Structures are given as C-alpha cells and as structure tokens.
A and B are shown apart, each in its own frame.
Chain A
C-alpha cells in the first residue's frame, strides 16, 4: 500500500510538473504574441530605422520629382509673384472674405505673435526675452509693401527670420498676409470710420 501511494504521488508530481511547464510555455508564448501585436513590424510616424542610411523612416520626395497633383506652376499662388514682380493682389483661387481674415488672425496669433506680437509692433514675448526686435508692421515701408511681399517673407524668411513654409501651408500664408493688411488698417483707422460699438468702447 505504501508503495502504491508513493507511485501515485510520483504520477501526481509528474502531472503537476507537466502542467506547470505547459502553462509557463503557453503564457510565455502568449506574452510574446501579445508583445508582437503591441509592436508590430511596421514603422510609426517619425520612428527611427537602420534601413536607411540617414535613419529616417519619413522619406522626402526624390529631388527633381513632382508628386501627382503637386505641380506648382502658378507663381502667383505659390511664390507670391506675377511675371517676376511681387503680387499686389490675392491669387484668384483665394477668396477674400471674413473667414479668410479670421483664419489669418488665428494663424498669425499662433506663428507670428511670439516675435511680432498681436498688434504687429514687433514686441512679442521672445523679443522681451532678448531676441532682436523685428521691424514694426506699421512702418511706411511695410504698409506700402505689396501683399506678395508678406507671402514671400513667410515662405522664404527674411533677415534673421526663418522660413515658415514647412509650418504654414500655402493657403494659410495668404490668409496671414491678408490679416497683416487688416492689422495695418486697424492701426491707422480714424475715429470717425469706426463702427458705433467700437466708438463707444473708446469713450
């Protein structure tokens, strides 16, 4: 009897060992599968790679190539120039309306105010922290500049100002240019030209 018990306990032991081993293997395999679902063999935006020499998964178009629909022959729209001269009007594809100015105001406040401040006088927070002051948008030279000038400066930068072409899309650049015009008008507005509500506020 004693022997039988020992035998059966050996069997039990073996069963336990097998079950534990199986469970370990299965859960390890499960964890591995889970991990492989979490980190699939694909790249997320901006993820690094060793596949390309420069380590970038976000590839730039090959130089000299144009993506379908990406041809930019319209110099008025894309460069702010008409037959080599800075454009004095908005491109025909940009409709001038209140929505354009409001969009321009929003984008101006995001991208331009750190230096140019909300009124365009060039005393933004970064200037207060030590950056060289940009010219006021209300000086005569800039008030008389063609609207294409603003598009050109946003696109290509000017002096120590960097290009904002990669941050502000083309249509938004025109909206900002249009809003700068509105800002310039606002700083020059005569009291009599203001709507009654604004006049009341000033009193």
Chain B
C-alpha cells in the first residue's frame, strides 16, 4: 500500500503541535495583558468636554483649592462634579462673553444640567471611596497625576486592580501627611518609606486588611 504522507511530513506534524500550543499560549497571554497596555486603557488621552475646562489654569495659575469645586470629596465616595452654579459664581462676572463658556451660560439660563464626559470609570463591582483615601493621607495627585498640569483631564493611571493592590500592599510608598493631601506640588521626601511607615502607624492604616476582597468589592 502506498504511503499517503511522505516521510518529510513528520516535522510538519511535530511543528504543528508546538505551533498550536504556542499560538494558544500567545493568544491567552494577549487576552490577559491587553488591559495593561496604556494604548488600550487610553492612559494619557485627554478627554474632550463640552466646555474646555482647564485644571492647569484654575489650579496651577489661579490656585483654587480642589475642594472649592469637588465639595464632597472629604465626606463621600464621590468627589462631586460641580454644578454650573459653581462655575457661574465667578463666570457670571468674569469672562462673561467668552464663547467657550456658552454651554455653561445656556445650562444656567435653562436650568439644565451640563453633561460632562466621564474620565475615570471604574467597573461597577469596584466600590472606591474618595473620603477614606483622603482621611488616611492619600493625596489627589497620587492617583490622578499632576492634575495641575492638565489643560483637559486625562487618565494618568489606568486604575487596574494590580495598580490598586500595589499601594494597598505597601501604602507607605504613597501615604503623605494629611495636611498635604490637596497639595498638588507635594513630592515624596527622600525618606518616604520611613516617614510613610510612621504615617501608616499614626493614621491607623490596617495594612493586613487592605487586600481583603471586601475592602473594594463589597
């Protein structure tokens, strides 16, 4: 009986076994890691807004405190997006003709909310709270980056779980004195780890519980 396959087909058979395992493995690792790529999680991409509000101008140049607009950040889970009333506190008197601000004036006149585009959107099964982070000495810029340098806000850190856990395991790397939490110019001191450990102790941060599932996934 004639051979169907030539002897040289053997390498093809062996190669294809390896290739199938390799390709499957590759696909699997791409699926696992795709969210780690900044391009996919849109890190550094400035988000368009109906009004080109600039944190760089209002925070860096004017020096307005974060809490002037984000009034609920110390008390609640949500930092608070200011109502147009907050904008109009100044802008009913200054830059009253600026075309950029027309959506604000229209919203104010018609008593309609202005629809901003969300920048940070955590999965709905993550229950992040701003207030506890602030109470324990985690500053705005630790997660949001140099917000005072952003004309339009972008995501500085992709906020994936690995990144959250990095700090939940070693909060001493990022914790700062409470009175510097809103200081956008704070930089870690040379002996951050030593000072951090002290603050972790002082603020009663229970590191052993920080990686419990229920801390973030209620």
User: Which positions in A face B, CB cutoff 8 Å?
Assistant: 1-2, 5, 37-40, 42, 44-46, 48, 54-56, 109-111, 114, 125-126, 129-132, 160, 162, 166-167
Q: Is the beta-carbon distance between A110 and B67 smaller than 8 angstroms?
A: yes
How many angstroms from the CA of A37 to the CA of B113 in the assembled complex? 28
B39: CB under 8 A from chain A?
no
A/B interface sample: 11 pairs, CB < 8 A: A2-B4, A40-B124, A46-B81, A54-B113, A109-B65, A110-B67, A125-B63, A126-B94, A130-B94, A131-B93, A162-B89
Nearest opposing residue in chain B for A6, CB measure: B4
Q: Which chain B residues numbered 49 to 83 have a C-beta less than 8 Å away from chain A?
A: 62-65, 67-68, 71, 77-78, 81, 83
User: Which positions in B face A, CB cutoff 8 Å?
Assistant: 1-2, 4, 62-65, 67-68, 71, 77-78, 81, 83, 85-86, 88-90, 92-94, 112-113, 115, 123-125
- Measured between beta carbons, the chain B residues less than 8 angstroms from A5 are 4
| Partner among A37, A56, A160 whose Cβ is within 8 Å of the Cβ of B124 | A37
Interface of B is mostly: loop
Nearest opposing residue in chain A for B2, CB measure: A1
Known: A1-B2, A45-B77, A110-B68. 13 other contacts (CB 8 A): A37-B124, A40-B124, A45-B78, A46-B78, A46-B81, A48-B115, A55-B113, A114-B64, A130-B94, A131-B90, A160-B93, A162-B88, A167-B86
Q: Is the beta-carbon distance between B4 and A166 smaller than 8 angstroms?
A: no
- Measured between beta carbons, the chain A residues less than 8 angstroms from B86 are 167
Q: A46-B81, A56-B113, A166-B83 are in contact. Are A126 and B125 (CB under 8 A)?
A: no
How many angstroms from the CA of A39 to the CA of B124 in the assembled complex? 6
How many angstroms from the CA of A50 to the CA of B81 in the assembled complex? 20
The 3 closest A-B pairs by CB, nearest first: A45-B78, A40-B124, A110-B65
Q: A5-B4, A126-B62 are in contact. Are A44 and B124 (CB under 8 A)?
A: yes
Q: Is the beta-carbon distance between A114 and B90 smaller than 8 angstroms?
A: yes
Q: A131-B90, A160-B93, A162-B88 are in contact. Are A114 and B62 (CB under 8 A)?
A: yes
Query: Chain A's nearest CB lies how many Å from the CB of B75?
Result: 9
Q: Is the beta-carbon distance between A131 and B94 smaller than 8 angstroms?
A: yes
- Measured between beta carbons, the chain A residues less than 8 angstroms from B125 are 37-38, 40
How many angstroms from the CA of A167 to the CA of B62 in the assembled complex? 19
Query: Chain A's nearest CB lies how many Å from the CB of B62?
Result: 5
Most A CB atoms within 10 A — which of B68, B81, B92, B125?
Answer: B68
Most B CB atoms within 10 A — which of A48, A114, A129?
Answer: A114
- Measured between beta carbons, the chain A residues less than 8 angstroms from B2 are 1
How many angstroms from the CA of A109 to the CA of B64 in the assembled complex? 9
- Measured between beta carbons, the chain A residues less than 8 angstroms from B124 are 37-40, 42, 44
- Measured between beta carbons, the chain A residues less than 8 angstroms from B71 are 166-167
Nearest opposing residue in chain B for A169, CB measure: B75
Nearest opposing residue in chain B for A115, CB measure: B90
Q: Is the beta-carbon distance between A125 and B62 smaller than 8 angstroms?
A: yes
- Measured between beta carbons, the chain A residues less than 8 angstroms from B81 are 46
- Measured between beta carbons, the chain A residues less than 8 angstroms from B89 are 162
Nearest opposing residue in chain A for B69, CB measure: A167
| Partner among B4, B78, B113, B115 whose Cβ is within 8 Å of the Cβ of A1 | B4
| Partner among B62, B68, B88, B93 whose Cβ is within 8 Å of the Cβ of A111 | B68
Query: Chain A's nearest CB lies how many Å from the CB of B196?
Result: 24
